[in-house]
Amino acid sequence: MAVLPTGFGKSLPYQLYLPVARQLKQLAGDSHSETEDVFDEKVIVCCPLISLMQDQVQQMKKKGMRVGFKGDSAETDKMIEDGEIDLIYASPETLVGDPIWRSSLRRLNVKVIVVDEFHTIATWGEDEDHQKAAFRKWFSYIGELRSLFPQASVLALSATCTKKIRKRVVKVLSMKEDYTEVVLSPNKSNIKLIVSKVHKDLEIALCFLVDGLNELKDTFPRTIIYCTSIKDTCNIFTYLATELPVLHDLFDMYHSETPDEQKNAILHSLKDGQSKLRIIIATSALGMGIDVVNCHSVLLFGLPKDIVDLIQEIGRVGRDGQSAVAILLYNQYHMLKISKDVKSILKTTKCRRISLMESFLTDKQIEQLKSEIGVHTCCDLCGIACLCGTCEITIMEQLLKKSTVSETSTSSSSPECDTDYDGTEDEMN
């Protein structure tokens, strides 16, 4: 089990396993004929998102690997069944939920089972409160792959996983007591955390975006806006399109119901550092493993219910190590839908980074993090305590601050227009 930060290269070990193993066999004089090689060792990668599978498959094909994902095409599915694909990507629904496909897999010589983004076993495969059906129930049955291939090694990977979820996943995957666990802190010190309570009216809450995009146009910093629903995603897109019709090429939206052709075009633009796309409004469908180039700003309009999803969305930016900012925007209605862990980040009066990391790190790691935090770039609360007067402020922070000051000066008598967070708001509980 490995919990390693985004951009760490978690995929390389299983992607390189077969090429390296075969090269070693050749060096040892234990080569196979081309016919025998078709039925050689295979690696299965259980992956939660189609977009993630598509991205990795495309990258591996460019390197000359025999790779494919179930459901890509009838031709690919046939190649997988015939043993012509070495690195096989598939969803949990396919691997354990489709009895016909399971029967086909049994004939393959699978040596490694990879469970990518394994935290989804708990966050998607189970309902924590047992009040409704799981979002994708087959995630909680991934452990059945062990019975299909009892001799295969298991590699569980995630960029963000709480201590509680790790224990649950070990049980679901029936991992042996002597399993190896590698866990690094998911903290991204280059991403500053900002929290702001906003007006319930969308047009007031996000007016700083319209003003900023209208002023900066194609120099507006590339930004991801995450929403908790397709409805909010569409509403924000419509708002921008209505206010800035001549700039419609600078923004787009991405969610589960977006046509595949449009999804692919958006993903291509996000990987192109020269693309004119400035703002992408999205749900979590634009998710795990997506590498957005030259993006250093992310806005969360309404927060994910689960803290794992929260840190995943925050981590979409600043992957090149440069200074970045994550701005968490919420109103009183958003507070009704989030977990206690997420709510604690909004309500803390100390350090938001420490509050966020407490769910992921041991007490010893937390103490070490406290000693390493730089108040200049940590969070909005630490920034208040900093008196240097030279703290770096990103363009997105400047736009938000300008909007906050303007709104406060004109509407300070109305509590609903207060965009500054008050950590004592008991009415939000």
User: Can you give 187-217 as a three-state secondary structure string?
Assistant: CCCCEEEEEEECCCCHHHHCHHHHHHHHHHH
Give the residue from 375, 265, 305 showing the smallest Cα distance to 280.
Answer: 265
Q: Which pTM was predicted?
A: 0.75
| Fold exhibited by the domain 191-420 | Rossmann fold (3.40.50)
pLDDT reported for residue 313: 92
The sign of the dihedral angle between the CA atoms of 241, 262, 314, 142 is positive
Residue 126 has a pLDDT of: 55
Q: What is the pLDDT of residues 165-220, one digit of tens each?
A: 888 888 888 888 889 999 888 899 999 999 999 999 999 999 999 999 999 999 99
Calpha distance 304→337 (Å, rounded): 8
Q: Please state, rounded to an integer, the average pLDDT across all residues of the chain.
A: 84
pLDDT < 70 positions in the chain: 30-39, 123-136, 138, 288-289, 389, 404-429
Give the model confidence (pLDDT) of 265-324 as tens digits: 999 999 888 899 999 999 988 876 677 889 999 999 999 888 888 988 998 899 888 999
Query: What was the pLDDT predicted at 125?
Result: 58
**Cα-based distances in Å from 101 to 97, 106, 108, 404:** 9, 9, 12, 55
Token digits of residue 52: 């993630």
Distance CA 346, CA 369 (A): 20
pLDDT for position 291: 76
- pLDDT at position 419 is 37
Amino acid identity, residue 373?
I
Mention every residue, 6+ apart, whose C-beta is less than 8 A from residue 153.
111, 112, 113
DSSP 379: B
CATH 3.40.50.300 domain span(s) along the chain: 2-183, 191-420
The two three-digit tokens of residue 29, written as one number: 């004089």
Question: Tell me, what amino acid is at 117?
Answer: E
What is the Cα–Cα distance from 389 to 87, expressed in whole angstroms? 53
| Helix and strand element counts for the chain (H, E) | 19, 13
pLDDT of residue 172: 84
Question: Residue 426's CB: how many other CB atoms inside 10 A?
Answer: 7
Amino acid 400: pLDDT: 92
Highest CATH level, class, for 2-183: alpha beta
d(CA 282, CA 50): 16
Give every CB contact of residue 162 below 8 A, 6+ residues apart in sequence. Answer: 119, 307, 308, 359, 360
